[in-house]
Structure 1
Amino acid sequence: MRLHRVLPLALVVLQVALLTACQPPLEVTLASSNEHLPGPAFLIDEPSQDGGPPRYDVIRVLAEDGTQVWHVRALSFDGTRGRRVVYGEAPEGFETVQSPQPLESGRLYSISVSGEASGALRFVVDPDGSVHPEKE
């Protein structure tokens, strides 16, 4: 008799836990609505840090087919980094693992940022060189 009361509550708790676990702790966005080739800028924020710097050590950009087009990593792993990243420019305290390849118009890319926290953004380069988030 009690099972029919407990089971729906347990399912709701499980759904909430799964949905919140799927949220990436880092938010990656374009720095502005006017980003263009050759070096679009991205902002990285970690809401759980309450205004503190985000925690990441690796930045990778992949083309839609999975080809890596840029990869940098931190020289030390103290965990806190700057919020603004420009494609092709290794942030202070980072080293280039793979030199940046030119981004091509008409293609879909993904930038992923990872370390203690992680996040990603899929973006498209238009024929005119403007960059915008992928429309979902």
Structure 2
Amino acid sequence: MRLHRVLPLALVVFQVVLLTACQPPLDVTLASSNERLPGPAFVVDEPSQDGGPPRYDVIRVVTEEGKTVWHVRAPSFGGTRGRRVVYGEAPEGFETVQPPQALEGGRLYSIGVSGEGSGALRFVVGQDGSVRPEKE
């Protein structure tokens, strides 16, 4: 591959790494060890806020293959948000971009939240409708 083709790609990768390194992390966890379908709950915390509310503007749930099954966003960016997120229920002040699809047993999903910070959790839905983190 020629340098004039590699250099722009390398610069884009460098910018992405640099920008994401500056974002404070958001911790996304299941709200409890008893979460089940149809609407498991998650908790979003931002350790850098010293107990204050987390800062995020987008919530997206995707399948292992990358297909979006739910996507909501705040119409204005840069605000603080609630800690509890329930699958399929747009938090107050959010608008639905992609309506929720039913989560399926035996599948792996990822919930990602982003804004001033970002974070994600990969979770598995059991055949019995139970929801657990991918790795316990």
Find the counterpart in structure 2 of residue 41 from structure 1. Answer: 41
AA in 2 matched with 1:65: E
Structure 1: which 5+ runs fail to align?
Answer: 1-20
Classify 1:22/1:78 alpha carbon distance in 2 versus 1 (closer, same or farther; 3 Å): closer
Question: Is 1:87 equivalent to 2:68 in the alignment?
Answer: no
Q: Quick one: distance in 2 between partners of 1:134 and 1:61?
A: 14
TM-score, scaled relative to structure 1: 0.82
Q: Is the 8 A contact 2:64 2:110 kept in 1?
A: yes
Where do 1:64-103 residues align within 5 Å?
64-103=64-103
Q: Deviations over 1:91-116 (max 9, x none)?
A: 00000000000000000000000000
- Identify unmatched segments of 5+ residues in structure 2: 1-20
TM-score normalized by the length of structure 2: 0.82
Rate the CA distance shift 1:24–1:48 in 2: closer, same or farther, 3 A. Answer: closer
State whether residues 24 and 116 of structure 2, in contact with CA within 8 Å, keep that contact through their aligned partners in structure 1: no
Aligned to 1:129: 129
Q: How many residues were matched structurally?
A: 116
Matched residue, 2:54: 54
Alpha-carbon RMSD:
1.6
- Once residues 28 and 76 of structure 2 are traced to their aligned partners in structure 1, the CA distance between those partners, rounded to angstroms, is 22
Structure 1 Cα separation of the partners of residues 103 and 38 of structure 2: 7
Bigger Rg over Cα: 1
Structure 1 residue runs of 4+, over 4 Å off?
Answer: 21-24
1:64-121 CA deviation, whole Å, 9 max, x = no partner? 0111000000022242000000000000000000000000000000000000000000
Instruction: Using the aligned pairs only, state the percent identity.
Output: 84
Q: Residue 23 of structure 2 contacts residue 117 of structure 2 at CA under 8 Å; is this kept in 1?
A: no
